[in-house]
Amino acid sequence: MQVKHPVRTVLRILFRNAPVEAQLIVTRRCNLSCGYCTEYDKTSEFIPLALLEQRIDALHRLRVVNIALLGGEPLMHPRLPEVVAYAQRHAQVSITTNGFLLTQDLIERCNAAGLANMEVSIDALAPDGTGYIQKSLKTLQPKLVLLRRFARFDVFVNMVLCDQTKPEFARALDEINRLGFPATIDLLHDARGQIAITGPEYGELWQRHYVDRTLQARLDQEYGAALLAGRRPGWKCRAGSRFLYVDEFGNVQFCSAQRGRLNKPIVEYTKRDLREQSGASKGCEAGCALLCAYRASALDNRPVHTLASMAQLALRGLGR
């Protein structure tokens, strides 16, 4: 994971109490229909660039460290490189994608736009005949080859651990590592964000394939192990403060699984809102498997552990 501006990042997080990450939906439309996903449709219009720029301006005013462009499938947005270029002026930018639409031209346009990181979602070695699992290494390997050859941004692969991916999970992660990509793991959650899998088999896979190469992995490891063991560690969610989710309508939500509880336009969001939400209890932390929200809250919950991890990544960034 690349930290393009490590000094700016540290100053914003430690001294400005800025949001660590804002997830910005650029479209709800997706070219796939994975069985476990509830964050897409087939009919939404693409959000116009002008509207996205207004929302990005609001995130810049809040000093957001990283703007993550999400969908649906963000690569479907016809002006995505322009969105990246606009957002990276005052923030770091990442993209989460299923990778199917990657081309050499698009990769090079993202290079030129200043993209920092790309997360490619892969769930198994081969497609599932039922359609529940569609993002397979067999299908996406040519896209990973393109990324390896042409991407100047950092790339890592994410897999979802669930009942359908469990049989080939170890082999798939071994192959991803063999191809030279760092891997991170997400845990299957239900529509409300609660952990949907538990048991020793899952715990063994989690522990065996935990790879200490990204900030995500460092912050997720102990918490994920506890969830899979059936425990519900206590922590305070900073959604609405350290973590922002901006939906397709431009409204701030606590997260993708808790829509409708906050629902305030990002263009009206202020530093006062950040302070209020930082101290507010969300009430859904116990059993939450949305690791993105957990790790964005980690600085306030586990400051020493988080700062040590950030320092290592910052040193890597300075050494580039």
Find the mean pLDDT for residues 277-290. Answer: 95
pTM score of the predicted model = 0.89
The whole-chain average pLDDT of the chain stands at 88
Residue 23 pLDDT > 60: yes
Q: What is the pLDDT of residue 77?
A: 95
Q: What is the pLDDT of residue 249?
A: 95
- Tell me whether residue 279 is in a domain: yes
Q: Which residue in this structure is represented by tokens 């206590």?
A: 234
81: which 2 tokens?
């490189």
Alpha-carbon gap, residue 190 to 196, rounded angstroms: 6
- Tell me whether residue 1 is in a domain: no
- Tell me whether residue 148 is in a domain: yes
Alpha-carbon gap, residue 185 to 197, rounded angstroms: 13
Query: How do residues 197-232 score in pLDDT, each as one tens digit?
Result: 999 999 999 988 765 555 556 678 889 999 999 999
- Tell me whether residue 203 is in a domain: yes
Burial (0-12, 13-18, 19+ Cβ within 10 Å), 318? exposed
Chain centroid, CA 32 distance in Å: 18
* Enclosing domain of residue 309: 6-318
- Tell me whether residue 99 is in a domain: yes
- Tell me whether residue 289 is in a domain: yes
Q: What is the pLDDT of residue 40?
A: 63
Alpha-carbon gap, residue 225 to 215, rounded angstroms: 16
Residues 6+ apart with CB under 8 A from 63: 12, 16, 18, 19
DSSP letter, residue 86: H
Closest alpha carbon to 196 in 290, 71, 307: 290
Residue 28 to residues 38, 76, 135, Cα–Cα distance (Å): 10, 10, 18
Q: What is the pLDDT of residue 274?
A: 97
Q: How many CA atoms lie less than 13 Å away from 212 in the CB half-sphere?
A: 7
Q: What is the pLDDT of residue 44?
A: 81
Least confident segment among 19-23, 112-116, 168-172: 168-172
- Tell me whether residue 185 is in a domain: yes
Q: Which residue in this structure is represented by tokens 């009942």?
A: 163
Least confident segment among 61-70, 78-87, 298-307: 298-307
Q: What are phi and psi of 285, to 5 degrees?
A: -65, -40
CATH of the domain at 203: 3.20.20.70
Q: Which residue has the higher pLDDT, 239 or 12?
A: 239
Least confident segment among 44-58, 163-177, 239-253, 258-272: 163-177
Q: What is the pLDDT of residue 115?
A: 98
Residues forming a β-bridge with 251: 265
Three-class DSSP category at 37: coil
Total structural domains in the chain? 1
Q: What is the pLDDT of residue 278?
A: 95
- CA torsion 45-259-72-87 (nearest 10°) is 80
- Between strands 66-70 and 264-265, the pairing is unpaired
